[in-house]
Each structure stands twice: as C-alpha cells, then as structure tokens.
C-alpha cells in the first residue's frame, strides 16, 4: 500500500484556529526564539507555507526587520485575513500574505532565503508537490525547516494515523532533492526536520 493510502490526513478545523495562538503554545515553543534558533536572520526573505493566522509569520516580521520580508501563504482565506489583520495591528508593513490553491505556492521562483512549513504536512495526502513548490521558491544556498508532532500518543495534536515519523520527513526531503536532510527532537512532543535547498 502506498504511503498516501496508508496514512490518514487531518487538518485543524478553521473554527479552532484560536488554538494556534494560545499562551500555552507560546510558552512551549516561543516563536521568536524558535525562529532565531532555526536560522532566521535580519534582512532575510522568509516564506511561511501554511501560515495559519500567523503564529510564526507575525513574529518573523520583527525578526527579519524592515529590510527583510515575510511571504506567507495558506489555503484558507480566513487564516490569510486574520494574518493580515494581526500584522497590521502590530504595525508591520513587511508582510505579503496570499491564499494558495492546492500545493501551488503563489510566489515567484527563488524568492526565499528561508522556508518554514510548520504543522501542515500531516494534512496532505502527498507532501511531495508542496516540497517541490517550496524548493522552487528557494534561493541558492537557502534552507527549509519542517515542524511537526512526534508520532506517539499524546493529548494534543492530530490523530496518530495522520502523523509522520521524523525519519519519514527526512526521507521525503531527500526524495524532493533537498541536501543534508536531518531531524532533531524539540520537546518530546514535537520535532524539527531541516535541509538545504537548491
Ligand atoms: C495546524 S495549522 C498550522 C499553522 C501555522 N503554520 C502554525 O504553526 O501556527 C495548518 C495550516 O495549514 C494550512 N494548509 C493546509 N494545507 C495547505 C496547503 N496545501 N498549502 C498551504 N496551507 C495549507 C491550513 O489552512 C492551516 O492554516
């Protein structure tokens, strides 16, 4: 049986989007600290794929600063509207947020220094098209980080059947042509997988 057929997909219902912006989440995975730790720097062009209402994208506007830019996309127009409103409320003018259809990323080739796909991939039947699109949007020498839940029982996150083992994401990154794919545990519940782009 293929990976896509064996694995269930699950996406957080849009009505539960408030769960993405809780204080508990900020304590467990502080966004600015996390973004800096994975390599986001002032002046970079940061692409957040499946941004939701902006848990990472909004703080990223501050991290990259006025000479950097945050590019964000999400399939949900509700998430995009909330993200834009959140950035505006905080006075950030260095965000471009667009809705995407399926796996097509609505930004040009080689536009990003850094790509993040956080807590999105368990919602897709086949993650290769989104990884290929991410790679297309990456500059030479850029990096990608994936963040997701460990595949073990816990009282939060998506159903177990939708999750990936970290080694599976590493293999998928390799299959998509990324260099030096690797993973590390974050807090026992979540992990990061990273690689270099074109
Ligand atoms: C659990 S939320 C995570 C949001 C954000 N990355 C975060 O960590 O807070 C998953 C998001 O991925 C979006 N999504 C699902 N499939 C997508 C796709 N093919 N392209 C872009 N966004 C997608 C959903 O609409 C949702 O906003």
Which pLDDT tens digit goes with each residue over 90-104? Answer: 999 999 999 999 999
Q: pLDDT tier at 4 (50, 70, 90 boundaries)?
A: very low
Q: Say whether pLDDT at 121 is over 90.
A: yes
Question: Domains in the chain and their CATH numbers?
Answer: 3-196 (3.40.50.150)
Question: What distance in angstroms lies between residue 118's CA and the mean position of ligand 1's atoms?
Answer: 8
Alpha carbon distance 86, 78 (integer Å):
12
Q: Identify the helix (H) or strand (E) that includes residue 133.
A: helix 128-136
Q: Identify the helix (H) or strand (E) that includes residue 27.
A: helix 23-28
Beta-bridge mates of residue 182: 194
The dihedral of CA 9, 51, 128, 194: what is its sign? negative
pTM of the predicted structure, to 2 decimals: 0.96
Mutate to test the pocket of ligand 1, among 15, 19, 52 (most ligand atoms within 8 A of CB): 52
């Amino acid at each position: 049986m293929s990976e896509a057929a064996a694995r269930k997909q699950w996406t957080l219902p849009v009505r539960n989007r408030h769960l993405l912006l809780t204080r508990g989440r900020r304590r467990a995975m502080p966004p600015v600290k996390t973004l800096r730790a994975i390599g986001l720097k002032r002046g970079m062009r940061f692409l957040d794929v499946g941004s939701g209402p902006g848990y990472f994208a909004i703080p990223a506007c501050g991290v990259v600063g006025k000479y950097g830019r945050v590019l964000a996309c999400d399939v949900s127009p509700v998430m995009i509207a909330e993200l834009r409103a959140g950035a505006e409320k905080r006075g950030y003018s260095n965000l471009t947020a667009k809705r995407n259809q399926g796996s097509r990323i609505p930004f040009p080739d080689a536009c990003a220094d850094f790509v993040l796909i956080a807590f999105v991939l368990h919602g897709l039947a086949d993650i290769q098209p989104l990884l290929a699109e991410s790679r297309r949007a990456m500059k030479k020498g850029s990096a990608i980080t994936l963040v997701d839940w460990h595949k073990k029982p816990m009282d939060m996150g998506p159903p177990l059947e939708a999750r990936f083992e970290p080694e599976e994401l590493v293999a998928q990154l390799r299959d998509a042509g990324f260099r030096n794919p690797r993973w590390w545990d974050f807090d026992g519940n979540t992990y990061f997988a990273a690689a270099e782009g074109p």
